[in-house]
Structure 1
Amino acid sequence: MIYTLTLNPAIDYYIDMNKFEEGELNKVNNAYTLPGGKGINVSKVLKNFDVESMALGFYGGFTGNYIKTHLKDYGIKDGFIELEEDTRINIKLKTNNSESEISGKSPNISNKNIEELFKLVKNIKENDILVLSGSIPNSVRNSIYREIIDLLKNKNIKVILDSRDEAFKEAIKSGVFLSKPNKNELKEYFNKEINSFEDIIFYSKKLIEEGSQNLIVSMGKEGSALIAKDAVYKGNAPEGKLISSVGAGDSMVAGIVYGISKGLNIEDSYKYAIASGSATACSEGLTSFETMNKFLEKVKIEKI
């Protein structure tokens, strides 16, 4: 079974307008809402690929009920724990010139809620896959991902980590199968300038020494890199009309999890990661399996 964990989900309110003028009345061309959260996005893409997963996390209030209903309608198994406070609302604003985001205030998560989560995590079985995605709410200690990994130490479980800041640093210490920093997050982690592909390889190998068996580093238009213990691959960014980058990174995670769940090696799974991320960036919402397959034909990987 594949599990995704979203500690800090949200309702994402997408707004599309020609331009935004501060202090003025702004007219919206289009607007819609979707349940957000990196782990939820991974589960949704996997469902689009006809792969089952269970989504874990926290939600609460009327916004939480919206997420609960959406997951049910989408056919995703729900292991979320209910909170007293409302799940946050994020605003994602797209204009002709830029994309901006306002992150909402997270609900409080108590120690009792955390213990409930730990009980669920302990049920994860040998050879399962666990995706730890996204930010940590202010009420939760930064060591939470590391603690979860430590709970599963004696089981052969592939942990995929897609986070940043202190939560990422803590989790790496306990070892993960794969992490997915982008170029800027790699720079933040080491507090060093990263100006070349050689720099990316150098610092990625340092992360391998610290506990990440494999890394995918996304580099935007320059493509991405897969760094393993004894091999380095550079992947292209397949051509397509960019619609929105929202969810592209989560789709990369879903793509590589899809490959791994089908028994593919890390290199072949990486192809699905590239295709999935690119397909979502060129789609209205998260990619379908059919769209991903079209991009798969354009994927090119070079062993360095």
Structure 2
Amino acid sequence: MSGEGGLDALLDAIARASGLSPRDDWADQASRGLEHIAVRRGTTVEALKREPATWPSLLPELLDHLTVRETFFFRHNGHFDFLVDALHARLSADPLAGACVLSAGCATGEEPYSIAIAVHARLGANALARVRILGSDISPEAIRRARAAVYGAWAFREAPAWLSASYFRRGEGTSAEVADLVRRAVNFDVGHVVHHAATLPAASVDAVFFRNVAIYLSPSVIVDAYREFHRVLRPGGLLIVAPADPRPNTAFFADVGHDSTSIYRARAPGFEPDQPVPSSRRGRGPRSSRAGHAAVGRPTRASVRAAPARAAAPARP
């Protein structure tokens, strides 16, 4: 097995193992990745392609060439407002209750760290201590970078103006490192979105962020992911996707009517899916402002949402 035939078979194996839907540029991206791997391993690209027994070990490294990790802090700001409102209601209703938020397909960690910052900024340290935040991604390199928690200026291009003062410290050059109080609030794991969710107990999660991930997955994996998220979410728990993502099955989830058209509540158990996953449709996007209340001395919901078109890396607090 050699040449394009070997590469095609390798890409098929990667697609099956990862659940990703192959893109037109996969062959070129995989070829570049194989060249790097071959140099590190002291072998040749052809040798890697013709030895199927070694393919599972190639997957983690090739994923970094085949996946798109386009993410930044406070992407789709309105989603964080909606989440914090829901968490505030839950934590206020029961002083002993905790909460759990899952960021599935979290890439390099900007999303789960944004969740932690939004909770702390609006609700305070005591509330953040009661919220368990989980981040998972299939790429070991992405999770390594998430745990390192060091970001360049591009990751802050839509960050709120108040973000830098309390939540980052200056790193080398233009980089910034997430503050310890935020890092401690997030736990990261390497794993396929479906397989990782399957490790969580039923009805144990209050919200799942699954944004700009499903658009890269095969239809069958999307169905499995939404089914698993419905299982782990408490009845009424939130599924938050991106405006361009495929819609979840309405037998499992009800649209809350948010302007982004991408926030859903989990229906109570007992429904059986009988609909295919609809094709992607783009929503109108989050509103630019919305009135609300916040703890005294903390950023308001409007200030959490307000973001400059391009923000520099945070200054040292």
Same fold (TM over 0.5): no
Q: Pick the TM interval, shorter chain.
A: 0.3 to 0.5
**What TM-score, normalized by structure 1, do the two folds share?**
0.38
Q: Which has the higher contact order (CA 8 A, sep 6+)?
A: 2
**What TM-score, normalized by structure 2, do the two folds share?**
0.37
Q: Which has the higher helix share?
A: 2
Q: Which has the higher strand share?
A: 1
Structure possessing the higher radius of gyration over alpha carbons: 2
